[in-house]
Amino acid sequence: MKIVLATGNQHKTAELRAVLAGEGLRAVELVSLADLGRDFPEPAEIGATFAENARIKATAYAALTGFHCLADDSGLEIDALEGRPGVISSHYCTQGLETGMARGERDERNNRRVMHELEGVPLDRRAARFVCEMALASPEGRVLATSRGTMEGRIGTPDRVPRGAHGFGYDPLFLVAPDFASTSAELEPKAKNALSHRGEAARRMAAELRRITAV
């Protein structure tokens, strides 16, 4: 089974490939959208939840490419902000709007907004989690499997974050539970994949893929 990973984010592609490769899925060939050698229109992510957006992307790209498609939607939920940034995590600084801003600049502005909105909130009230929802769709538009993963932690205070050279997005702000000693961006890739929301969702999806390919 050839499966297209429905993301243009190279960080996500690398993480997903590493985790799924570690699960020993010999009957599955993973390719990225870039590997297909042409551009595809991005579907409108209009879902109210990560799960809805994952399904939207999986079914849209499966139809566009003619291959089975694995899509994820992920982001950050902060309890003190009533679950924000949520489904607009990657474009929080622009209220969820795509403005063509470079990824690095967008990450910096997103982080700056989160830290501003948490100003004065003590560390013990900065509980947060990364959430990842995945969906696998067939070229006919049928969702064959879904999975979910979470990573618990806190958003650090300005004296402690940002820290770390690995990862992307909110990783430099996110102190990983249970000891809150390191940010997600300080974890080496292998350690991060073992703990992360995306790693957990991918391992659960790998179990679904083994079931599907064995039929």
The DSSP 8-state label assigned to residue 92 in this structure reads: G
Instruction: Collapse the DSSP code of 171 into the 3-class scheme (helix H, G, I; strand E, B; otherwise coil) and give the result.
Output: helix
Distance CA 137, CA 209 (A): 11
- CB 201 within 8 Å of CB 207: no
How many Å apart are CA 196 and CA 35, to the nearest integer? 25
- 73 noted as active-site residue: yes
**What are 37's two structure tokens?**
């050698």
Q: Which residues are 85's β-sheet partners?
A: 77
**Which entry of 35, 39, 72, 73 is annotated as an active-site residue?**
73
Provide the residue type at 112 as one letter: R
Q: Active-site residues: which are they? A: 73
